[in-house]
Chain A
Amino acid sequence: MHKVKTNNELNAKKIEVFDALKKSVKNIDSNTHLRGESIYVDDINIRQGTFFAVVFDAPVAHGKIKSIDYSKAEAVAGVERIFTYKDIPGENQIGGILPDEPLFAKEEIHFWGMPIALIVAESEFIARKARALITIDIEELPVITTAKEAKEKNSFINAPRSFGLGNADKAFKDCDYVFEGETFSNGQEHLYIETQGSYVEPLENGNLKVISSTQGPTAVQKAISKVLGLPMHKIEIDVTRLGGGFGGKEDQANPWAAMTALAAYLLNQSVKLILNRHDDLRMTGKRHPYESTFKIGLTKNLKIQAYKVEFLQNSGAAADLSPAIAERTLFHATNSYFIPNVATTVYSCKTNLPPNTAFRGFGGPQGMFVIESAIAKAASELGIAPRKIQEANLFQENDVFSYGQIAKQVEAKNTWNAAKNIFNVEALEQNIKEFNASSSNLKKGLALMPITFGISFTNTMMNHARALVHIYQDGSVGISTAAVEMGQGVNTKLLQIAAQFFSIHPEKIKIESTNTTRVANTSPSAASSTADLNGKALAKACEALLSRLKNIVTEEFNASKETIQLKDEFVYINNEKTALTWNELINKAMMKRVALTENAHYATPVIHFDKTKEKGHPFAYHVYGTAVFTATVDCVRGTYEFDDVKIVHDYGKSMSQGIDLGQVEGALIQGIGWMTMEEIAFNKKGKLLSNSLSTYKVPDIFSIPKNIDILPLETEGNEMAILKSKAVGEPPLMYGIGAYFAIQNAIKAFNPNYKLKFHAPMTPEKVLTSLYAN
């Protein structure tokens, strides 16, 4: 019964994707990953005599330290030394945006898990045993765990921010329908499978070499420089790869590296600190929980005329990246919809949770969840399918975003229509209706989820990168950039760029580790922009080298430069192959003393943003897409599964379909996890209850949708994207929001009395309770 007619267009497209995948380039790290030979921080060869560290942290969420007794811990055989704030030669401060976060607690405790001391010992095991012997006396203070509570008590990180377009308050008066509501979206644990860690080796003259699992090598370098009071040039950060980051290692790799560096510097011996999973879960920040209130106004023909929302961001105990994340919530508050009158405000609320931080989407998902909730509420009250409202309000060319940017090369409608047609949404809807009419134990629900996501760091000054390219005299190439490889495949893309520019075999090219001595003053690998920024810098470097190489050919063959081309490791003139090979050309360059090294700098053009007006053009471009979800709810048990997720995604001109598809699938499942099963729980005293993998569940292989179809939207791509291949890291995470609404719609099919609630994640507990709510 729930069979969709054979769809020839869909089948043809699936075959196209399958063929493209077969041809597409594989991740260059595949072989070492699969053979267990890839090196992560905990795998490096350590220097003889290396010490191991464990962090001692606060056992309450808020309080004043009265006394700490380290004597029993210090007496344990094998314990070398215990470091506290007293040992810090520089500043006890690691705040990135605001200086409000000490490395080690001094007198006050602000969150459960706040680092107090570092125990350094001959083994991690000994350090852990010693930790258990430390006693601490704390005068406990009142604890704030929710954003709402913080706002009531005027506890904020900084001043609120507001974006506006038109006049929302006035516009509501002219609306035919106005609806109000509340939403909550919970935090999310990054659960990078490689926990936080660093290894620091002291070099001569008080210099330090730091191996860190960080997305932001320069941020780590700055943090260490501040804590140790050393100039940045004495500190070298090296990153080969991360075992996952997802934003969790953007700023929050800093404290562990700084502690390790402190110990290594003062002991003049190598020190390694790898957080065990429980410590990592307890001590690090997560995706921000948001509590929000909305008001939405529509006309009779379902045009959204006005939208007002107040976001309360639970920032945790220190700023970390919260202000920037709050800003992106405002940027994405209307998702894919053009709304002429918008008033959005966000408060970064200071609570006693670990400082929350970047997580794939960076505040965008939290903003989008609210507008989708508002639309769902309006649709439910009006007794229509939400997709009618969604469709009536999609962004069109030259519409303006609430932050002043004019929408160009908009694909919102194109992805929506493509998804609707290729996947035959109307037939799906009909099938679900029929299924629900005949099934009592199971009910199905459908939801569509369009996404529009801006690409660039919203802090304009961060949008730059550099690439250092060496062509060695044997024709092999080494490339250094600021890009950190964490599974997203950026190194593979960089290699593709160089291989394409020089037209040489990929095996001739090596992507070096990310190192602050080779590439300095870097922005973190974040904001989905790593391939764009570093790729563009690399392309510039390759172009400059190519130009110099062509000059040699010009001299040699007396040919004009425009006619020269490098192809498959040969020089071509006027499309004719010469006898001159790549290797010979490089050799000639050496003989002629031509520079075979280039350092290029790229800064994204056009973008700007004026924070005093909250207007500008912050994004290089936007990424679009539409997802169609079908969920089945087991009304006996309150469990659910996803039959189908069908997506049309705007890749631009993908450089590697295999890698990009992997990003879409991975982000989608992570988004579904955030919206359904991943439930962070703190008790009222601020203690993390979901403090292990047995209590915090992320999707496993059985919980993913039974069928996932992801098709590319055919477009010309965007010049601002590297080789017209659009950024892909974060945007697809927000498809996951569709999961929430598909489940809700299934619940409604069972329980007509059910009033929609917008309280994510939609756990089996909430599903069962909703199924049987009056």
Chain B
Amino acid sequence: MRNLRFVFEKKGRAAYLSHLDVMRTFSRSFHRAEIPLRYTEGFNPHPFISIAHPLSVGVTGSREILDCDVLTDDANLIERVNKYLPEGLKTVQLSDATRKVNEIAFAKYQLTLYYDNRDRLLAAEWLSSLFEKSYIPVMKKSKRGMVEINLAESIDKLKIDVVDDAFGDELKLSVLIKASPAPLNPRYLIESIVEDDLRPDFVRYHREGFLDMQKQSFV
């Protein structure tokens, strides 16, 4: 038995899959590839599969983490699994799951903000100053209803780039979001923008990967 760590990308049409969808899809891909898995014992056996900090529906990722217990010594599992995954899901790296996922300290996100026919340079300036504040209030849903949290406590190394590309009306925002005590959904960054003129018309969310306390790549 090996406890393996599949590093996978989730992009394109697969971006719209939920956490449970991704779990189910991987599990079925293992079946199709005839890779034997370790199952739980008990009345309703299911394979040992877990995904660290699952992505929300619509969010893409380059280096997502799935751990599972397999009962084979085959070294060629990446190709075997990838052959049976649907479009948009792909294993990019495979290793033993030695590091504990609770060593993940940050998630690195890139947000693309679209300002349709608006002055993105002005927006970039304003947003830079907004995210520099030491107290950025945002309302977050909790078990006890809506509570105000300070976004500034959860973000690190926020950087805004004005990129020149075909559209010419987008900003790239890269940021580290603390993974503990609870990973914060990056959409709160956008929700913290109260000024209507600064709110983008559309935001694309992408997670580049996970970092540890030393801000080194986790896998």
A interacts with B: no
